[in-house]
């Protein structure tokens, strides 16, 4: 677990620590089991619908990407922070065995209703730098005082 982030230290424009994943078939099968989403698009490269879509390999689950972005949001909030809102749009498909960067940046900080609110832009990015899963999050953070 990363160290607790405090509201006092957060700056607009601050980048969250990023990480890169490259989900392979084992990972997508694991997520199928963990999430209950057994759509063959995600683990059977011969699934006819993929051919119909002109895609030669399996597609990474949208909700797997949501959960990856969730890792960066929850790590930023820390144990004493709380995630109040967190959503993504699925704008582009990511294929199995391709690198996916998970990133975030602070867009605003304000005190609202007695809470220290931080707004984030969060997203996944493919190898070409395209944001395939752009989203936003709202986190309440503790202050040092």
Query: Residues in the site for other proteins, rule: CB under 8 A?
Result: 1, 21, 27, 30-31, 33-37, 39, 49, 52-53, 62-64, 66-68, 70-71, 73-75, 79-80, 82-90, 135, 140
Q: Between residues 70 and 104, which has the closer beta carbon with respect to other proteins?
A: 70
**From the CB of 111, what's the least distance to other proteins, in Å?**
15
**Nearer residue to other proteins within complex by CB, 106 or 135:** 135
The residue among 11 and 122 lying less far from other proteins, judged by its C-beta, is 122
Rg (CA), the chain: 17
Cβ at position 36, least distance to other proteins in Å: 5
Instruction: Please report how close the Cβ of residue 35 comes to other proteins at its closest, in angstroms.
Output: 6
For residue 145, CA distances in Å to 79, 105, 140, 142 come to 17, 24, 15, 9
**Quick one: tokens of 100?**
């996916």
**Position of tokens 């752009």?**
134
Residues in the chain: 145
Asked if residue 102 lies in contact with residue 69, where contact means CB atoms within 8 angstroms, the answer is: yes
| Of 11 and 77, CB closest to other proteins | 77
Are 64 and 35 spatial neighbours (Cβ–Cβ below 8 Å)? yes
Cα 61 to Cα 94: distance, rounded to the nearest angstrom: 8
CB of 104 vs other proteins, minimal distance in Å:
13
């Amino acid at each position: 677990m990363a160290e607790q982030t405090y509201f006092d230290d957060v700056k607009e424009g601050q980048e969250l620590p990023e990480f890169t994943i490259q989900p392979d078939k084992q990972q997508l099968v694991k997520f199928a089991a963990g999430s209950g989403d057994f759509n063959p698009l995600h683990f059977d490269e011969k699934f006819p619908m993929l051919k119909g879509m002109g895609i030669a390999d399996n597609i990474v689950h949208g909700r797997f990407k949501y959960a990856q972005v969730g890792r960066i949001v929850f790590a930023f909030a820390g144990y004493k922070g709380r995630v109040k809102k967190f959503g993504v749009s699925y704008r582009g498909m990511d294929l199995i065995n391709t690198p996916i960067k998970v990133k975030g940046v602070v867009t605003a900080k304000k005190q609202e209703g007695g809470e220290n609110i931080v707004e984030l832009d969060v997203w996944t990015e493919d190898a070409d730098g395209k944001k395939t899963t752009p989203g936003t999050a709202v986190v309440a953070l503790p202050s040092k005082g």
